């Protein structure tokens, strides 16, 4: 019976030693797993931040393109308005000059006709009197 008790006691001590060794390795195992999980979490966070930054850059790119297109359209409209306005002023000035020349030509022609009629009438009157 002493042998059995001694074997049982040695077996219990061996189990305790084995359990203590496992407990002694537990902090290292927990630290390794924690480090692996922290590494995965850090990598995932870096990838998420990178994806977010790429989305922000894409949004900024779209907004800048919209602003440039709007500015280009506004500039083209302004240039077209200036050109049309200038052409309208020039066309109206040419029309005015043409009308003035036409009126002047008609007036001069009418005056010449009146003078020649007056001269011919005076000449006829003068020739009848003489």
CA distance linking residue 66 with residue 58, whole number of Å: 12
pLDDT one-digit tens code per residue, 50-65: 999 999 999 999 999 9
How crowded is the C-beta side of 28, counted as CA atoms within 13 Å?
A: 5
pLDDT one-digit tens code per residue, 99-117: 776 666 766 676 676 777 6
pTM exceeding 0.85: no
CA distance linking residue 20 with residue 12, whole number of Å: 12
CA distance linking residue 105 with residue 98, whole number of Å: 10
* Averaged pLDDT for residues 17-31: 74
Distances (CA, A) of 87 to 81, 84, 96: 10, 5, 14
Secondary structure class of 48 (helix, strand, coil): helix
pLDDT of residue 55: 96
């Amino acid at each position: 019976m002493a042998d059995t008790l001694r074997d049982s006691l040695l077996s219990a001590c061996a189990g305790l030693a084995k359990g203590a060794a496992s407990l002694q390795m537990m902090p290292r195992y927990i630290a390794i797993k924690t480090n692996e999980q922290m590494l995965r979490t850090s990598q995932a966070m870096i990838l998420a931040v990178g994806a977010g930054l790429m989305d922000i850059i894409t949004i900024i790119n779209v907004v800048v393109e919209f602003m440039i297109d709007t500015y280009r359209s506004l500039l083209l409209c302004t240039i077209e308005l200036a050109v049309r306005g200038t052409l309208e002023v020039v066309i109206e000035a040419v029309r005015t000059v043409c009308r003035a020349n036409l009126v002047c030509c008609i007036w001069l022609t009418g005056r010449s006709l009146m003078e020649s009629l007056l001269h011919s009438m005076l000449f006829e009157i003068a020739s009848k009197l003489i």
